[in-house]
Homo-oligomer: A and B are copies of this chain.
């Protein structure tokens, strides 16, 4: 067997969400990179880059995300492989990931880069439901990532991927409300959250407004999301492990 290089190139991109506090309710936001060359020069696109022959897909997602935006996700999962012939002028298969970034990490990571003088350029954050026209088929990709996020929040604990270590139930509820786009009953939300077995109450309280709210951590023994039988046992590096996702839904908001 001779090794003939293919004329199909493999790219890796990532849709990474964070929660941006708003006056009324928080909203989902994501960073985009402005393209400097054709095709689609000047347009906004998802952060990403070419797959290197010496790295796995997950590693490529983390690397290209870091090199374009300076961000390291708190949750990372493969989304889909896009490979229509006409999705780009040249033949490119894009392995797309979606990710979450804890709110407190956004500023921290960007500040760290600013200090080292390697602040990412040509990057801007956009509200997830108010995006400009994107390069390639990235509009569709973001739409699908949003759909997956909204769906997954219903049957897994990924919402925690957007919060710091300690949080109040109201903060957790706000994450759900932002993602789902509707209000949730605080009383019922509390009971469900407590019954899930994933929350550990601390003896600390968040004070400042009205009645102090108890702070919770969460049980790291429980995975953020069931990733199916192929889940890697433990993450070798800092970021979260990635294996095929339990793509199966189990509630049924949109069946």
Distance to closest chain B CB from A247 (angstroms): 3
Contacts of A54 in B (CB 8 A): 85
Determine chain A's interface SS by DSSP, over half rule.
loop
CA distance A37 to B3 in the complex (A): 14
Per a CB cutoff under 8 Å, which of B9, B81, B91, B247 touches A248? Answer: B247
Q: Does A195 contact B (CB under 8 A)?
A: no
Q: Does A187 contact B (CB under 8 A)?
A: no
Contacts of A251 in B (CB 8 A): 155, 249-252
- Contacts A51-B93, A144-B244, A250-B151; is A81 near B78 (CB within 8 Å)? yes
CA distance A253 to B230 in the complex (A): 17
Check B51 against A229 for contact (C-beta < 8 Å). Answer: no
The range of chain A's interface size is: 35 or more
Q: Does A56 contact B (CB under 8 A)?
A: yes
CA distance A8 to B78 in the complex (A): 19
CA distance A231 to B32 in the complex (A): 24
Q: How many copies does the complex hold?
A: 2
- Contacts A50-B6, A81-B95, A144-B244; is A253 near B255 (CB within 8 Å)? no
- Contacts A56-B84, A81-B95; is A6 near B10 (CB within 8 Å)? yes
| A93, closest chain B residue (CB) | B10
Q: Does A127 contact B (CB under 8 A)?
A: no
CA distance A9 to B247 in the complex (A): 26
> Given known contacts A6-B9, A246-B247, A251-B252, what 19 new A-B pairs fall within 8 Å (CB)?
A1-B90, A8-B10, A8-B51, A10-B93, A57-B84, A57-B93, A80-B244, A81-B81, A140-B229, A144-B229, A144-B244, A147-B229, A151-B248, A155-B251, A155-B255, A226-B255, A248-B248, A250-B252, A251-B251
Q: List 18 A-B contacts (CB under 8 A).
A: A6-B6, A8-B53, A10-B10, A56-B85, A78-B80, A78-B81, A143-B229, A144-B230, A147-B248, A150-B248, A151-B247, A151-B248, A154-B250, A155-B249, A155-B252, A247-B248, A250-B253, A251-B251
